[in-house]
Chains A and B, each alone.
Chain A
Amino acid sequence: MRRVYLFVPLVIFLVLAVLLGRGLMLDPNKMPSALIDQSVPEFNLPSLASEERMLTRADVVGDVSLINVWGTWCPSCMHEHPYLMELASQIPIIGVNYKDVRTDAKKWLVKLGNPYVVNVFDEMGTLGIDLGVFGAPETYVIDRQGMVRYKHVGVVDERVWLERLKPVVDQLRGEG
């Protein structure tokens, strides 16, 4: 009977090893989004193209689409941009120009091309806070009812699109 106790440290070690090992596999930057399966927040902000044109939630929902948060100050957005240009033919992309300078952002779109159906100009980052944005680029998949169904933090490239976003998009499109 006493012998059994000798194995206690081994058991504790194994349990700890499994727990800590699992901890090592986790991505510490991956934050569970609080917005999944929540409605896209209401907003009232000007479009990037024109100060006079105000955009609201109703202007951006209606189809299965992507919301892409970007800014000219964000190097990863530059890196991501060419792939968004490719994606634009497959799915409507709504831009949220996050904490940017209007003229800079407009120049960027003229120079590099515009993959967005429409761009919300979020100068103060208020929509960003409502969306739970903590850095650009971030990309959300929204369904026809305007619910956020997936959130990807970081650059969208072919792999992210094919492995993470497209399956969600296909499923949402299938839902009819």
Chain B
Amino acid sequence: MKQLCLRVLLLVGLVVSGSSLAAVDTYEFADEQTRERFHQLNGELRCPKCQNQALGDSNSAIATDLRREVYRLLSEGKTDRQIKDFLVTRYGEYILYRPELSSHTLMLWLAPLLLLLIGLVVVVVLVKRRRSAEKSTTLNVNEQENLKALLEASETSSEAEMDKRD
């Protein structure tokens, strides 16, 4: 009896979980290529209401509407460019996850390159400096004699100090 109950519950569970998938809207596409473009656009466009989600990820009403709009424009044979322009004139450049290269987004695009260049310059300078420091570690005859003299002097002075303490 208990086993039968479990089986029935399991079956019910399977049926219920299947129906929750039906909430995803379905579209029919003329060909595989259009479907591909639809999914790509959904990934690249941003949901205006839920700002950290792409159009394709969001279940909000506005995202659903905009997906329908993208689908409509695709079926009308509009290019990706035209579809993006359509949405930008209504929602602003904000809707593009990959902003266009223009005067006010120039910094956004160039900053990584600029930072990379700065990093490279810093690395090159540091490496050069270290190399020149390494070169100068070998002392010439004069310097070696100077060093010897200094070491001896410090040795005798420290011995003298030890003597004092004793």
Contact = CB atoms under 8 A, between A and B. Distances in A.
A35 B65 contact: no
Interface string A12-35: 000000000000000011011111
Interface in A124-144: 124-125, 128-135
Given A99-B61, A128-B65, A32 B94 contact: yes
A130 B90 contact: yes
A interface, by DSSP: helix, strand, loop or mixed? Answer: loop
Given A99-B61, A125-B65, A28 B51 contact: yes
Contacts, number: 40
A135 B91 CA distance: 12
A132 B48 CA distance: 9
Interface string B52-76: 0000000001100110010000000
Interface string B70-94: 0000000000000000001111111
A34 B91 contact: yes
A125 B60 CA distance: 13
Contacts of A133: 62
B49 interface: yes
B91 A132 contact: yes
B100 to A, nearest CB: 13
Interface string B31-61: 0000000000000000011010000000001
A135 B62 contact: yes
Contacts of B89: 34
Interface string A96-107: 000100000000
A31 B48 CA distance: 9
Contacts of A125: 61-62, 65
Given A28-B51, A134-B48, A135-B49, A34 B62 contact: no
Contacts of A35: 90
B92 A33 contact: yes
Contact of B92 (A28, A31, A129, A135): A31
A129 B66 CA distance: 8
B164 to A, nearest CB: 39
B106 to A, nearest CB: 17
A32 B91 CA distance: 8
Contacts of A33: 92
Nearest to B69: A129
Highest count of chain A CB atoms <10 Å: which of B51, B66, B88, B91: B91
A134 B90 CA distance: 10
Contact of A134 (B62, B69, B88, B93): B62
12 contacts: A28-B51, A29-B51, A31-B94, A34-B88, A34-B92, A124-B65, A125-B65, A128-B65, A129-B66, A129-B90, A133-B62, A134-B49
Interface of A: 28-29, 31-35, 99, 124-125, 128-135
